[in-house]
Amino acid sequence: MTHNGRRPPLPRMPFANLRAPRLLCARMALAIAALALAGLAAAAPPKPETRCGWFINPTPGNAWLIDPDAQWTVGLQGGHQAEGPWPEPPSQRDWVKHEGDPRGYGYGCACLKVVTGPDQSIARILSAKGKPLAQCRRDRALTALEPDYTSDR
């Protein structure tokens, strides 16, 4: 008590104004919501892509897809293997076999709907369709990328 019998006034608290805590809570809620949405976006599954190019299967368990963007690993013997079906050529004449290989290893043209993984790998093949060789040979971005099996002869 003071000399006049009254209590001294309480010191003013930083949140004495009720608008300040509400505003602070609203800002914190917005920040938390933004972080949650960013986390959901980062955790979203990768979108499937359609990639067309040369599908190469030179030996058992080894396969690549070469398109204008990259050489994508589909499978490595004893290692990475993409889930899903490999393409079948539309006809025997649309598959180039290694010279003298009776097992049918070689290459063809294909379009694959895929989910890609790290390091230019294909994690999952959702669908695969073999295409005529002429389709890849007509594509200027793929012409120079066609495998050359003439050196095997």
What is the CATH number for 63?
A: 2.40.50
β strands within 13-149, DSSP E: 49-59, 62-66, 71-75, 95-97, 106-117, 121-131
* Residue 26 within any structural domain of the chain: no
* Residue 107 within any structural domain of the chain: yes
* Residue 53 within any structural domain of the chain: yes
* Residue 41 within any structural domain of the chain: no
Q: What is the pLDDT of residue 46?
A: 80
**pLDDT-derived band at 4, boundaries 50, 70, 90:** low
Q: What is the pLDDT of residue 84?
A: 97
**pLDDT-derived band at 69, boundaries 50, 70, 90:** very high
Secondary structure percentages of the chain, helix, strand, coil, to 5: 25, 30, 40
Q: What is the pLDDT of residue 148?
A: 87
Q: What is the pLDDT of residue 103?
A: 82
Q: What is the pLDDT of residue 90?
A: 94
Would you say residue 152 has pLDDT above 50? Answer: no
Amino acid at 153: R
**pLDDT-derived band at 153, boundaries 50, 70, 90:** very low
* Residue 132 within any structural domain of the chain: yes
> Of 84, 136, 67, which is closest to residue 75 (Cα–Cα)?
84
Q: What is the pLDDT of residue 99?
A: 78
Would you say residue 50 has pLDDT above 70? Answer: yes
**pLDDT-derived band at 139, boundaries 50, 70, 90:** very high
Phi, psi of 94 (to 5 degrees): -100, 20
Residues in CB range of 91: below 8 A, 6 or more apart:
132
User: What's the CA dihedral at 18, 23, 29, 32 to 10 degrees?
Assistant: -130
3 state SS of 97: strand
* Residue 37 within any structural domain of the chain: no
CA angle 127, 99, 103 (to 5 degrees): 55
* Residue 59 within any structural domain of the chain: yes
What span, in angstroms and rounded, lies between the C-alpha atoms of 151 and 153?
Answer: 6
DSSP 68: S
Residue ranges making up the domain that contains 112: 49-146
> Of 108, 112, 117, 135, which is closest to residue 52 (Cα–Cα)?
112
Would you say residue 105 has pLDDT above 50? Answer: yes
Number of domains, the chain: 1
pLDDT of 19-47, one tens digit each? 555 555 566 656 565 555 555 555 667 89
* Residue 20 within any structural domain of the chain: no
Q: Does the reported pTM lie above 0.85?
A: no
